[in-house]
Structure 1
Amino acid sequence: MAAVGAGAWWWTQSDEADGQVSCSTLLADARIEDALGSSFREDMSCSELGGAMKKAAAGNEAGVHTETQAQAMRDILQSADDALTTSGQKSIEPPLRLPLAQLIADYTPDTYEIFKALDADYVKHASDDEPWSDASGVHMAVWDDTLIRVTRAVADSPDAYAYVRDAQTRHAARVLAGIPRSADGVTLTTPAAGNAAALGVLDAVAQDVAQGTSSQAATEWNKDVIAALKRSAPNPAASYSSDPAGYIRGTWVAQLSPATTAVAPKEFTEQGVQLLDIWAKGRADGFKPSGSLRKDCRNSQSERYGDTLDVLKKQAREG
């Protein structure tokens, strides 16, 4: 048994020396065994582990979960984050990237709030041992640093990153579409700036990916992300009258141009304002976002971008 244990330890360490957390590390975590329940096996392949994670934590309807599923999601995120912070790595084995991204997207009503870091309920429940329920359903929370690091861990795969970005874009579009036409002041600023804040997290994740690779590889990553986003959205976009959120999301995706440099496209770094402008145009009632509202969105996106980069830089220093 000692020899087997030593071999398993060497395998885990050699995987992580390559710059990514291994599937074997996660399989050794009791929280993963608890989360997967009867699906768990010690000898699961990475692909099997990713599928089992989705089976344990994903709901039958996106954004709708049981308490058992939400608890499994918390366990998966916290286990992955602990493996990342303990090893000092920023990435995770490739077969787990898309499944984890799909789970982050499946929990978008929660992950959006965690990314925003503005909702007191999510801050309060981040240290709880269990999910909670309210009138809108079951929710789970983890610290925003945890979600940031796990999102970064999947983002080396452009398809995985695009999956998360598209889910956050869809949710931001729904938020805008739900703003009453009579909204003004804080009832207008809060949701618009909140959208921008959540998207700023993903800007920083993209920047961290670019900083960790060559200029050519970063350019290819940008191209692949944009291509994945374009594949995900119908063209042409829905009309505003038939599907306001679909119009907002589809119009934004349609204006994406193929990347030609390693620098993040303006459509990403300006997305909060661009979605706001698309929503205003779709309303077709003469409403125009004020300069101060657009400035609030830019500032919110930029501030969360900076906060998130600080989290990722700290991770690199401590690693």
Structure 2
Amino acid sequence: MKPTAPEKPRTSRKRIALWAALALILVGGGTTGYVLATRDSDPGCEHLLNSEPLRQELGARMRPGMSCGELGAALRGAATGPTPGRHTLAQARIMRATVTAISEDIAQRKDPVIAPALREPVATALADYSADTFEILAGVNGDYDDHDAPWRDGAVVRTPVKRVDVVRTMRAVSENPSAYATLRTAQTRQCAIGLAGVPLQATGAALRVSARDCGAGLGYLDGIADDIPQATSHTWRAAVISHLTTGGTTPPAYREDPVRHLTATWQQDLSRKQPKETGFLKRQLAELVRTWVAGRGTPRDESTVGTLQDAVARDASTSVGETAEIMQCTRQPEEHPCA
């Protein structure tokens, strides 16, 4: 694995300008509202059933005349194994082929949705690959850019997928609020794993880098939520919060289990709030940073915590803007080609 690049500002002037322009287009439901308002029906799964790379990887598990639900179950079963997050090369190839085929189908239709019966199983499979997708979205491991097929990295199998394909697929499954909650939970856990791994003696950039990775990674989930059309966003967001707060547990002490302390504390705090108070997860990163600093025993200097929260928020904002760019180039490729 290549070393993480030195800490540097992640928000470029180009991104700021592009995001400002997109904000003018998208305000009031602009592009999103138009596309969803003119969709006659949900898409089927013909493209995936006819995808030769996917057919090669699935083999006999892909049968003629399969329903979308049967295909989704076959994809989930073939891409995941008995141990969460652990995959064989064959499973990883199926996951890569699935995400690539979904993204190609979305690009052809210029509409980032997939068949309803595919949303939950694909989201479940994606969540099982959150160690890969978190690093891809946060941009912290350049090895993913150097491989065009899954590879062994020591005892771990890594699955390279283009960031635009990951974002399109996550957006497509997120029409289902339960699927979005599954992805958000998985990405939050990866964020917590990174935070928990920071040595207690770390200071400066070494202290900040994992928190900023959280901002860069989770910011794409914020951008996906922003892309849900306004006409349905209130109901959708309420359902997401309900899914996120179901089955919560009492947080253990940070020193006992730092990852579960971070995730369970956030889930517990979220469950105590009214839906209108959540700001739909916009405060998640700030709350995670505050809980993390407190759990580590770092002096609770508000100016230090506030500075870190501000940096993380900027990274998240950059990812929100990049998500909007991907959605725009997906829907209007002639005017705004995808990079």
Q: For residues 316 and 259 of structure 1, do their structure 2 counterparts lie closer, same or farther at Cα, with a shift above 3 Å needed?
A: farther
1:241 corresponds to which of 239, 249, 255: 255
Partners of 1:196 and 1:273 within 8 A in 2: no
Normalising by structure 2, we get a TM-score of 0.82
* Map of 1:93 onto structure 2: 115
1:127-142 equivalence runs, <5 A: 128=148, 130-142=149-161
1:153 corresponds to which of 148, 172, 180: 172
* Map of 1:207 onto structure 2: 226
Partners of 1:223 and 1:260 within 8 A in 2: no
Unaligned 5+ residue runs, structure 2? 1-37, 335-339
Q: 1-side partners of 2:83 and 2:139: how far apart?
A: 25
* Map of 1:299 onto structure 2: 314
1:150-229 equivalence runs, <5 A: 150-209=169-228, 212-214=229-231, 217-229=232-244
Partners of 2:219 and 2:319 within 8 A in 1: yes
Q: 2-side partners of 1:74 and 1:254: how far apart?
A: 34
Q: For residues 222 and 110 of structure 1, do their structure 2 counterparts lie closer, same or farther at Cα, with a shift above 3 Å needed?
A: same
Residue deviations 1:15-71, cap 9 Å, x none? x96354312221111122123222110111111111100111112212111111111
Residue deviations 1:156-189, cap 9 Å, x none? 1000000000001111111111111011122111
Structure with bigger RCO (C-alpha 8 Å, 6+ apart): 2
* Map of 1:38 onto structure 2: 60
Partners of 1:267 and 1:274 within 8 A in 2: no
Q: 2-side partners of 1:188 and 1:124: how far apart?
A: 28
* Map of 1:78 onto structure 2: 100
Alignment length (residue pairs) = 293
Q: 1:124: Cα distance to partner?
A: 2.2
Q: For residues 267 and 241 of structure 1, do their structure 2 counterparts lie closer, same or farther at Cα, with a shift above 3 Å needed?
A: farther
Q: For residues 199 and 136 of structure 1, do their structure 2 counterparts lie closer, same or farther at Cα, with a shift above 3 Å needed?
A: farther
Q: Secondary structure at the match of 2:245?
A: helix
> Is 1:280 aligned with 2:296?
no
Q: 2-side partners of 1:232 and 1:94: how far apart?
A: 25
Q: 1:111: Cα distance to partner?
A: 0.5
Q: For residues 232 and 167 of structure 1, do their structure 2 counterparts lie closer, same or farther at Cα, with a shift above 3 Å needed?
A: farther
Tell me how large the CA RMSD over aligned residues is. Answer: 1.9
Q: Secondary structure at the match of 1:255?
A: helix
Q: Secondary structure at the match of 1:90?
A: coil
Q: 1:107: Cα distance to partner?
A: 0.3
> Is 1:103 aligned with 2:119?
no
> Is 1:122 aligned with 2:150?
no
Could you tell me the percent identity over the aligned residues? Answer: 32
- AA of the residue aligned to 2:94: A
Normalising by structure 1, we get a TM-score of 0.86
Q: 1-side partners of 2:171 and 2:204: how far apart?
A: 34
* Map of 1:66 onto structure 2: 88
- AA of the residue aligned to 1:200: G
2:269 corresponds to which of 249, 255, 258: 255
Q: 1-side partners of 2:115 and 2:230: how far apart?
A: 17
Q: 1-side partners of 2:214 and 2:323: how far apart?
A: 15
Partners of 2:293 and 2:305 within 8 A in 1: no
Worse-matched range after superposition: 278-287 or 158-167 = 278-287
Q: 2-side partners of 1:37 and 1:232: how far apart?
A: 37
Q: Secondary structure at the match of 1:295?
A: helix
Q: Secondary structure at the match of 1:260?
A: helix
Unaligned 5+ residue runs, structure 1? 1-15
Residue deviations 1:114-133, cap 9 Å, x none? 111232112222xx1x2111
> Is 1:56 aligned with 2:78?
yes
- AA of the residue aligned to 1:29: S
* Map of 2:337 onto structure 1: none
